[in-house]
Amino acid sequence: MAKHDGFLLYERELPADRPPLERIGDWQEFHTLWDEQSHRRQAARCMDCGIPFCHSGILIKGAASGCPIQNLIPEWNDLIYRGLWKQAIDRLHKTNNFPEFTGRVCPAPCEGACTVGINQPQVTIKLNECAIIDRAWQEGWIKPNPPKHRSGKNVAVVGSGPSGLACADQLNRAGHQVTVYEREDRIGGLLMYGIPNMKLAKDIVKRRTDLMTAEGVKFITSTEIGRDLPVAKLKDNFDAVVLCAGAGKPRDLNVPGRQLTGIHFAMEFLKSSTKALLDHKSPIISAAGKDVIVIGGGDTGTDCVGSSIRQQCASITQIEIMPQPPTDRRSDNPWPQWPAVLKTDYGQQEAIALYGADPRVWQTTVKGFEGDLNGQVKAVYTVEVSWQRDDKGRMTPVEKPGSERVLPAQLVLLAMGFLGPEERLPLNLELSRDPRSNVAANDENYMTSTDGIFCAGDMRRGQSLVVWAINEGRRAARSCDRYLTGSSLLPG
């Protein structure tokens, strides 16, 4: 594919991001544009590897290896290299409904499995994907394409995150009339309120949902099923229902002082921040002038760091209980596994540029919070840990005596992941749950314990990547289509 010796001739390159000290002054996307020749040169590095592990989409040791939606990566890299951009977007859309989302926020397990990455820097797959879709929008190649025939069937999709949008898009293509219910005031789920604007601009989300509206999908906002719309009405008014409401139950930290004012779940803070930006108002939860502690070292924690800096916090510290990853792959983490190596993301880069140090504190846990006389948090008590095997062979954190610290804090953000879906919807629908509290729906047809009700995305599989959510939405749509009509031409 592409240029057979391109990976030998060209080095991996990426366009420079906007300088950290410049971009923290606004909420605009921080990636910069590149010229066509540079993109074609990077696409030329896609080698004729024989077996393209990049689109394998499998799990190895619990982590994704290759693209979960099986993007036809070598094919569209070849088309970029040849300058055939319009054909490239056609190939990309065959497997991915929303490459403008994945091209910005996906951690790119495809690159972790890239064959070039065995012994040199991998192909810039994520960059190439984003370049294709951005050019397609720019050139006006993406236009509304409503189905020519309608089936007469009505489907409700609950939730407008990536799984819900993918499911709705596919079912609409099959000719069904689709209504998407979203409890927030804007469409997009976590794409809208869970990912900051500088990482995924909200006009990009709206552009895609506007296209879906033009193609016949109906969106209803500010409506929570079981509260604003009775469950019985949902069942009576639709031929099938697909639940894509996510895994919105956050992991809490039950330590002394948790009840103090100023301690929030990360999603509360990120939603407040984005909503304030879009509504041109001050945020309900503000980091301005405060010492901020972020508990959790994942992507959500990074988003809290970047958002706090843009709100002009006084200081920022990010606490992570796990050890600092190595800078290079360990021998027990070989290709094509996801490379478990140290990543300094945009939020940490900005903190380093602004404060002169990485905000992350590794192998540390929080013991409690201290408040002032008004019940406002003012300090966080921490202790370092070492990871040791217990009597059952499990790795557990053990506190290090004498490593206790007290950190000033007027805002604490809990970014420790999610435990499953919120309770209201599964209980109201009387759905069976799996041992992890997710809605039980099998991998074959995504049907729940109630006939005609399907489930996909984080609500079914637990907290995961945007690309897995799209995969689930597409597969659930195919099963739902088959349930309604007896067969389906939708791809799985």
Q: pLDDT digit string (tens) for 21-79?
A: 999 999 999 999 999 999 999 999 998 888 999 999 999 998 999 999 999 999 999 99
Same domain, 222 and 328: no
More confident residue, 143 or 49: 143
Q: Domain boundary at 116, 139, 162, which? A: 139
Total domains in the fold of the chain: 3
Q: Give the per-residue pLDDT at 2.
A: 67
Q: Is the pLDDT of residue 1 over 70?
A: no
Q: Is the pLDDT of residue 167 over 90?
A: yes
The CATH number of residue 451's host domain is 3.50.50.60
Q: What is the pLDDT confidence band of residue 4, given thresholds at 50, 70 and 90?
A: confident
Same domain, 477 and 359: no
Q: How far apart are CA 154 and CA 164, in angstroms?
A: 15
Return the sign of the alpha-carbon dihedral for residues 466, 468, 471, 473.
negative
Q: Assess if residue 350 is contained within a domain.
A: yes
Q: Assess if residue 344 is contained within a domain.
A: yes
CB 317 within 8 A of CB 292: yes
Q: Assess if residue 291 is contained within a domain.
A: yes
Q: Give the per-residue pLDDT at 283.
A: 97
- Residues sharing a CB contact under 8 Å with residue 230, sequence separation 6 or more, in sequence order: none
Q: How far apart are CA 248 and CA 466, in angstroms?
A: 14
Q: Assess if residue 144 is contained within a domain.
A: no
Same domain, 118 and 31: yes
Same domain, 398 and 426: no
Domain that holds residue 47: 6-139
Same domain, 369 and 425: no
- Residues sharing a CB contact under 8 Å with residue 22, sequence separation 6 or more, in sequence order: none
Q: How far apart are CA 299 and CA 273, in angstroms?
A: 16
Q: Is the pLDDT of residue 342 over 70?
A: yes
- First CA to last CA distance, the chain: 25
Q: Is the pLDDT of residue 152 over 90?
A: yes
